[in-house]
A and B are shown apart, each in its own frame.
Chain A
Amino acid sequence: MSKLPDISQDGAGWVYSDKVKDHFLNPRNFISGKIDIHQFDGVGEVGSPACGDLMRVFIKVAKDRITECKWQTFGCASAIASTSVMSEMVTGMTLEEAGKIRPQDIVSKLDGLPARKIHCSVLGDQALRAAIVNYKSRRIDNEQENI
């Protein structure tokens, strides 16, 4: 488990790490405009607008490795930053490795988040696992069609 840096956790302060700020202001691998989901091998979604966070993750897979991870996020700065940093982390990972990504791995990569932000905004790992499940089910469908 990562050591959380000394950041405000009382909800009154808004101290985000430089890493969070960087990923929030310069998000990596996000996808915008019209999306052709058939371009991707798996799509996963988690959250709801009512909760204030909605994330969608799109993956391309080759030889059981994630070659591309794109995303969309409706949410606060930490939600955007955590999805962004996760997309960098999992690109190149095997599906097995990527499936084991935990929220705390994402938080530590961001040099920490205010405690109360973790539960609600770090949902990227769940969206990714949903995308992996989606990829696997699509593959089974394809195999069955081929039989």
Chain B
Amino acid sequence: MERREVYLDHAALAPLDKRVFLAMEPYLKGGYGNPSSIYTRGRATRDKIGDCRTEISWILHCQSDEIVFTSGGTESDNLAILGVARANSKSEILNSKQIQNSDVQNSKLNSMFQNSESRCKGHIITTQFEHHAVLNACKQLESEGFEVTYLPVDKDGLVKLEDIKQAIRPETILISIMYANNEIGTVQPIAEIGNWLKTQKSIRQLADKSQNNGKIYFHTDACQAAGYLDLDVNRLNVDLLTSNGTKIYGPTGIGILYVRNGVKIQPVIFGGGQQGGLRSGTENILGIVGFTEALKIADRERTGESARLAKLRDYLIDGVLTRISNTGLNGSKVNRLPGNANFSFYGVEGEAMVLMLDEEGIAVSTGSACNSDSLEPSHVLKAIGLSHEGAHGSLRFSLGRRTTKQDIDYVLAVLPSVVSRLRSISAIRSDKEKI
């Protein structure tokens, strides 16, 4: 088969869409002012940012002032987790109550908190297979005195609502669950969790005996989901939602955090007080324009593109599993993003496959330890119960807007020989071939 260049790493970065570039082009040329300035140029920029907010709010079904622009998915996740946890920590509540309440009430409150079993500042629930932007923000909170429950996921890579119910405590203030996993593409039941939590919250608020008056905020990292899944924050019943430009054919260095009005949150970046003080720093006009255009296109083409990719994905999955023995699909076959296929090829190592496929013009990624700074295999693949060997032999194919059936045919022609070449020199043999 004729060699071709096949890019199947859209989950890492979806290349900038030409239409997004054209929308950004006038702003690349300059001529705009600082949105905080009151003269004409500044006002024009401010108006443009306002328009972008409005257009984004239509897609998320929220208010335009509920959108915070950030530098990307990592910052949005950090703002959501650190910002909400710190603003709702037990000491914060006590401090504010101390100002409001008389001494009598105050001592009553103090004793209530001191009598509670846990002296932690607050409790957060997340999963073992979140993005590192969430996991490491949670680790930071642990060092600040918060407690975090990292829920397991099942072998299909799905979080169970039942586990969340079990994990909730009186001190729980925040739940953060990703919408779709970045490595195995599995889609989490965010709406189901959100809806249950909504009813739960009113029960807790009526009882008024838990931290933060029973409020539990719900955050979802939707970076991988945007463009494929519904982002209606009211249907999902989320209080905070992260999205970024890199994954939706937009520019890098721009993200948003949706923050529902009324959510108690504090900034993680301090400065000139832009964006209601929640995210200081001059707004990234170029990124905002690009992100907005990218999100609009993604939303418009979502249904058709998802259906097209799902067909190609299933063609790839079936083709790989029938052509290559000793291979498994990682993550649920049904509840997964339309563009994601993740396999483990036993007896071979991922980085070697990535480099050999690269020689053939195919760009994919791996969860192998040899491809990470830490030399630890992917925490996601470990979380779904894969052996070290399985994680080492993993490959992620993430399809995108320009992927064609010819691309998949090329992969199906090249991949079996790459795997068998590496298996032929491998010191791990399948049982039949054992020496």
Binding site for B on A (CB under 8 A): 10-12, 14, 16, 24-25, 27, 30, 32-35, 37, 45, 47, 49-56, 71-77, 79-80, 116-117, 120-121
B370 at the interface (CB under 8 A from A): yes
CB neighbours (8 Å) of A71 from chain B are 425
Contact check, A11 vs B370: say whether CB atoms are below 8 A apart.
no
Q: In the bound complex, how far is the Cα of B350 from the Cα of A74, in angstroms?
A: 10
Assess the A50–B435 pair: CB atoms within 8 A.
Answer: no
Which residue of the partner chain, among B371, B375, B425, contacts A80 with CB atoms under 8 Å? Answer: B425
Known contacts: A24-B352, A52-B392. The answer to whether A73 contacts B427 by CB under 8 A is: yes
**Least distance between B359 CB and chain A CB atoms (Å):** 6
A11, B428: Cβ atoms under 8 Å? no
Q: Please, which residues of chain B bring their CB within 8 A of the CB of A30?
A: 424-425
Tell me whether A74 and B351 are in contact (CB under 8 A): no
Question: Which partner residue on chain B sits nearest A116 by CB separation?
Answer: B375
When A52-B392, A75-B349, A77-B355 are in contact, do A120 and B427 touch as well, CB less than 8 Å? Answer: no
Closest to B359 in A: A25
B351 and A76 contact, CB distance less than 8 A = yes
18 A–B pairs (Cβ distance < 8 Å), ordered by A? A11-B372, A14-B355, A24-B355, A24-B356, A52-B375, A52-B388, A53-B349, A54-B428, A72-B425, A73-B425, A74-B428, A75-B370, A76-B350, A76-B352, A76-B370, A79-B370, A80-B425, A120-B375
> Chain A: which residue is nearest B369 at the CB level?
A52
Q: Which of B352, B377, B427 lies in contact with A56, CB distance below 8 A?
A: B427
Cβ of B132 to closest chain A Cβ, rounded Å: 14
User: Given A25-B356, A74-B347, are A52 and B368 also a contact pair (CB < 8 Å)?
Assistant: yes
- Which residues of the partner chain B approach A47 to less than 8 Å between Cβ atoms? 427
**B388 A45 Cβ-Cβ under 8 A:** no
For residue A137, give the distance in angstroms from its CB to the closest CB of chain B: 19
B433 at the interface (CB under 8 A from A): yes
Residue B426 is within 8 A (CB to CB) of chain A in the complex: yes
Given known contacts A34-B433, A76-B370, A54 and B352 CB-to-CB distance under 8 angstroms: no
Q: Which residues of A contact B359 (CB under 8 A)?
A: 25
Interface presence of B2 (CB below 8 A): no
Residues of B close to A33: CB separation below 8 A: 424
Residues of A within 8 Å of B373, CB to CB, are 10-12, 116
Given the contacts A14-B355, A72-B426, A52 and B348 also touching, CB distance less than 8 Å: no
